[in-house]
């Protein structure tokens, strides 16, 4: 439990005395009187229940307990200053842009609503949104090239040093153009898959293993005509102009289905559901704009109807 008696002035004074190794020099640096410095240190020691300084001849030295506390006090002051600086920088539009990686399903379904709300917050921060395969985005996040990834939860071995916050779950769907032959009532839908081109997630995508397992479980070990792509623009255009079957995350084509441009085949894909959420580096201290953006993403995700 944090002792409410410990204030910012206690930490500030303690760190300065430890740095100067002198009450007098610390008082000069802080521009306060020596009695005020002494009083503040005594208050801190009373709150901690230990001595943080002891006499050493005509001077003072930090105690073992003081050394332990100094590490945390210094880190606390640094974090607070960074927070204050980040707010000031963002108000002046002097901060770096926010770099967000988003899977295609998120770019289509979540980010437009989230960005609209973020812009209304008036942070003045620039935002860079990139999309691509999950593995690529996660590596960029790990290297510090991205500040946030919004997408599916990566495999456990890929999550070292990263932190995931679940927002919702999403499944894969099989979509075709309106009027596609497979939409006609039939009993053996999967038996006819080999008669049509199939757009598959690429091998580097997070949903590829899920799709392969699903197909094998339904007796489809090989597809004669298969096209791998992560391009939703190509997938949308190709499926609408051909008899191809597109296997894709539901969020990518949700609007197309709602508008009647595409239709989902009557296939129960509930077993392909997987978590979608926010991934950041575990050691990240979020800036004010990044915290605001993450909140707008949460709000946008919460407005989605269950799928």
- Residues 136-155 have a mean pLDDT of 83
- Residues 195-203 have a mean pLDDT of 89
Query: How far is C-alpha 162 from the chain's CA centre?
Result: 9
pLDDT for the residue 139: 78
pLDDT for the residue 18: 86
- Residues 199-216 have a mean pLDDT of 87
| CATH match of 98-169+275-302 with 3.40.50.720 | no
Radius of gyration of the chain (CA): 28
- Neighbouring residues of 68: CB distance < 8 A, sequence distance ≥ 6: none
CATH topology identical between 98-169+275-302 and 172-272: yes
> pLDDT at residue 2 above 80?
no
pLDDT for the residue 293: 93
> pLDDT at residue 306 above 50?
no
Structural domain boundaries of the chain? Answer: 8-91, 98-169+275-302, 172-272
Q: What is the DSSP string of 236-267?
A: HHHHHTSS-EEEEEHHHHHHHHHTTSEEE-S-
Cα gap 155→170, rounded to integer Å = 16
Contact between 128 and 97 (Cβ < 8 Å): yes
pLDDT for the residue 307: 42
pLDDT tens digits for range 87-119: 665 555 555 678 899 987 788 788 999 999 999
Q: 206-223 in b/e burial notation, b at 16+ Cβ within 10 A? A: bbbebbeebbeeeeeeeb
Pick the CATH number of 172-272 from 3.40.50.150, 3.40.190.10, 1.20.1260.10, 1.20.1740.10: 3.40.190.10
Q: How far is CA 176 from CA 57, 83, 160, 238, 260, in A?
A: 85, 50, 38, 10, 11
Average pLDDT of every residue of the chain: 84
Cα gap 94→124, rounded to integer Å = 9
Cα gap 288→301, rounded to integer Å = 20
Cα gap 261→254, rounded to integer Å = 10
Selected residue with higher pLDDT from 90 and 170: 170
Cα gap 89→72, rounded to integer Å = 25
Candidates 255, 206, 246, 242; CA nearest to 223 is 246
Question: ∠68-70-71 over CA atoms, to 5°?
Answer: 75
- Residues 226-234 have a mean pLDDT of 87
pLDDT tens digits for range 241-281: 999 999 998 888 888 898 899 999 998 999 998 899 999 98
Architecture (CATH level 2) of domain 8-91: Orthogonal Bundle (1.10)
Candidates 14, 16, 4; CA nearest to 53 is 14
Band of the pLDDT at 55, cuts 50, 70, 90?
confident
Q: What is the DSSP string of 87-101?
A: HHHHHTT-SPPEEEE
Alpha helix segments (H runs only) across the chain = 8-20, 23-30, 34-48, 64-91, 104-109, 111-120, 134-142, 208-217, 232-240, 250-258, 288-302
pLDDT for the residue 108: 78
pLDDT for the residue 230: 79
pLDDT for the residue 174: 95
> pLDDT at residue 144 above 50?
yes
């Amino acid at each position: 439990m944090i002792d409410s008696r410990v204030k910012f002035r206690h930490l500030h004074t303690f760190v300065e005395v430890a740095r100067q190794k002198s009450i007098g020099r610390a008082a000069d640096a802080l521009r306060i009187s020596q009695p005020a410095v002494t009083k503040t240190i005594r208050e801190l020691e009373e709150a901690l229940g230990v001595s943080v300084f002891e006499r050493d001849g005509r001077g003072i030295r930090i105690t073992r307990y003081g050394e332990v506390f100094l590490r945390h006090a210094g880190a606390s002051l640094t974090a607070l200053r960074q927070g204050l600086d980040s707010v000031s920088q963002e108000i002046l539009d002097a901060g770096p842009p926010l770099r967000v990686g988003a899977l295609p399903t998120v770019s289509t379904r979540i980010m437009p609503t989230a960005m609209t709300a973020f812009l209304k917050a008036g942070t003045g921060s620039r935002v860079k949104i990139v999309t691509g395969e999950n593995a690529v985005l996660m590596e960029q996040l790990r290297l510090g090239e991205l500040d946030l990834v919004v997408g599916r939860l990566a495999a456990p071995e890929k999550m070292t040093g990263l932190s995931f916050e679940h927002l919702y779950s999403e499944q894969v769907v099989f979509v075709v153009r309106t009027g596609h032959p497979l939409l006609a009532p039939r009993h053996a839908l999967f038996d006819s898959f080999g008669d049509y081109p199939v757009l598959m997630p690429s091998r580097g995508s997070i949903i590829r293993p899920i799709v392969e397992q699903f197909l094998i479980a339904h007796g489809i070990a090989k597809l004669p005509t298969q096209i791998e792509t992560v391009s939703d623009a190509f997938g949308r255009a190709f499926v609408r102009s051909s008899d191809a079957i597109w296997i894709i995350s539901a969020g990518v084509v949700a609007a197309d289905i709602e508008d009647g441009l595409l239709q989902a085949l009557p296939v129960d894909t509930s077993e392909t559901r997987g978590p979608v959420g926010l991934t950041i580096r575990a050691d990240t201290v979020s800036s004010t704009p990044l915290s605001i953006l993450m909140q707008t993403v949460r709000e946008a995700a919460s407005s989605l109807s269950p799928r």
